[in-house]
Amino acid sequence: MSAIKVEGVSKVFAGAGGQSMLALSDVSLDIADGEFVVLLGPSGCGKTTLLRIIGQLESPTVGRVRLDHGDRPERADRPLGFVFQEATLMPWRTTGANVALPLEMAGMGRRERTEKVREMLTLVGLPEAENKLPHQLSGGMRQRVSIARALAHDPQVLLMDEPFGALDAQTRDMMNVELQRIWLENRKTVVFVTHSVSEAVFLADRIVMLGTKPGHIHSITEVTLPRPRTIDMTESAEFRHLTAELRRQIGEVQDTEARPAVSA
Ligand SMILES: Nc1ncnc2c1ncn2[C@@H]1O[C@H](COP(=O)(O)OP(=O)(O)OP(=O)(O)O)[C@@H](O)[C@H]1O
């Protein structure tokens, strides 16, 4: 069953001086329920724009996105969870109170909320952090809290825009392992934007490579490495082969001549 259907999406932005700019051209993509899809590609190819359109933070100029709730119509009320590069936690609220915020806004009662917050903090490996303030946590811990907050209301789809882009390499590796574990435990549909080829191969079921000028789908690569994947596996021949091929493709799309703009 597909959870997300992107159908013929194009996006035109109004640029400086009244000129319009075609950021995405005719993008169609089916994402299966429970699938982990990574959007990869050079800077400016439209990864964030596509993610924001899937997340209904931006509307397409042409085309549409459909979220399919399948046999769980209750999901229509809470379809999406977001994690961005910055954790965007409220500095004056404790970790627990940050995770509880969307639940409070949804009108969940105090006892149920407390239980849910503990469950989520345990899921992300931070059961001890409930009463800490964000500034008392490391960058990686803050991102775990923002993942807990995004998952607290049990969204159907988790949208992640370079969530580990601001972390050091070692913490990032650890967070990739953690995210995989969390995903294997609750099997949300995930759409994840990154610049990092190795992060993409480590996490993805499928990697959607976007090309530039204008943004379009260049290729889709299935990653069949067994799960759970480990950091050791990044040294394997298959992992290296895949990352080399994807890096070659990024070079290819960067070199592509500008195609004529399509009128939308
Ligand atoms: N709100 C906006 N108004 C005008 N142009 C925009 C807007 N948002 C994005 N763009 C342009 O659309 C194109 C795609 O941007 P987008 O941020 O989606 O790319 P990206 O692949 O995520 O880039 P990066 O990897 O550098 O974050 C870029 O040329 C960008 O300048």
Q: Which among 49, 196, 208 is the best mutation to test ligand 1's pocket, defined by most ligand atoms within 8 Å of the CB?
A: 49
pLDDT at 118 over 60: yes
Q: How far is the CA of 4 from the centre of ligand 1 (A)?
A: 22
Residue 75 — pLDDT band, cuts 50, 70, 90? low
Q: What average pLDDT does the structure give for the chain? A: 91
Residue 263 — pLDDT band, cuts 50, 70, 90? very low
Distance of CA 258 to the CA centre of its chain: 28
- Residue 2 pairs in a beta bridge with 32
Which pLDDT value is given to residue 177?
94
Which pLDDT value is given to residue 167?
87
Rounded to an integer, what distance in angstroms lies between the CA atom of residue 94 and that of residue 87? 14
The reply to whether ligand 1 has any atom less than 6 angstroms from the CB of 43 is: yes
Q: How far is the CA of 45 from the centre of ligand 1 (A)?
A: 7
User: Measured from the CA of 50, which atom of ligand 1 is nearest?
Assistant: 18
The reply to whether ligand 1 has any atom less than 6 angstroms from the CB of 19 is: no
- Which residue's alpha carbon is nearest to atom 5 within ligand 1? 13
Residue 233: both structure tokens together: 């596996």
Instruction: Identify which has the larger pLDDT, 254 or 29.
Output: 29
- Which residue's alpha carbon is nearest to atom 7 within ligand 1? 13
Which pLDDT value is given to residue 133?
97
**Phi, psi dihedrals of residue 121, rounded to the nearest 5°:** -65, -30
Domains along the sequence of the chain with CATH: 1-79+197-264 (3.40.50)
Task: Give the contacts of 47 (CB within 8 A, at least 6 positions apart).
Answer: 39, 40, 41, 161, 193, 210, 215
SS3 189: strand
- Which residue's alpha carbon is nearest to atom 28 within ligand 1? 44
Q: How far is the CA of 24 from the centre of ligand 1 (A)?
A: 10
**Phi, psi dihedrals of residue 211, rounded to the nearest 5°:** -105, 170
The reply to whether ligand 1 has any atom less than 6 angstroms from the CB of 125 is: no
Which pLDDT value is given to residue 36?
98
Rounded to an integer, what distance in angstroms lies between the CA atom of residue 198 and that of residue 235? 11
pLDDT at 258 over 80: no
pLDDT at 261 over 50: no
Q: What is the mean pLDDT of residues 98-108?
A: 93
Q: What is the mean pLDDT of residues 87-101?
A: 96
pLDDT at 202 over 60: yes
Neighbours of 228 (CB within 10 A): 10
The reply to whether ligand 1 has any atom less than 6 angstroms from the CB of 47 is: yes
In the chain, the amino acid numbered 237 is A
Q: Which among 24, 38, 48, 208 is the best mutation to test ligand 1's pocket, defined by most ligand atoms within 8 Å of the CB?
A: 48
Q: Which among 47, 85, 192 is the best mutation to test ligand 1's pocket, defined by most ligand atoms within 8 Å of the CB?
A: 47
Residue 4: both structure tokens together: 């997300």
Which pLDDT value is given to residue 264?
35
Which pLDDT value is given to residue 156?
87
Q: What is the mean pLDDT of residues 4-28?
A: 92
Q: How far is the CA of 48 from the centre of ligand 1 (A)?
A: 7
Task: Give the contacts of 17 (CB within 8 A, at least 6 positions apart).
Answer: none
Q: Which among 24, 45, 193 is the best mutation to test ligand 1's pocket, defined by most ligand atoms within 8 Å of the CB?
A: 45
To which H or E segment does residue 172 belong? helix 169-186
Provide the greatest CA pair distance for the chain: 59
pLDDT at 74 over 60: no
Q: What is the CA radius of gyration of the chain?
A: 19
Which pLDDT value is given to residue 18?
79
Asked which of 17-26, 71-80, 83-92, 157-166 is least confident by mean pLDDT, the reply is 71-80
Which pLDDT value is given to residue 72?
62
* Percent of the chain with pLDDT strictly greater than 70: 92
The reply to whether ligand 1 has any atom less than 6 angstroms from the CB of 13 is: yes
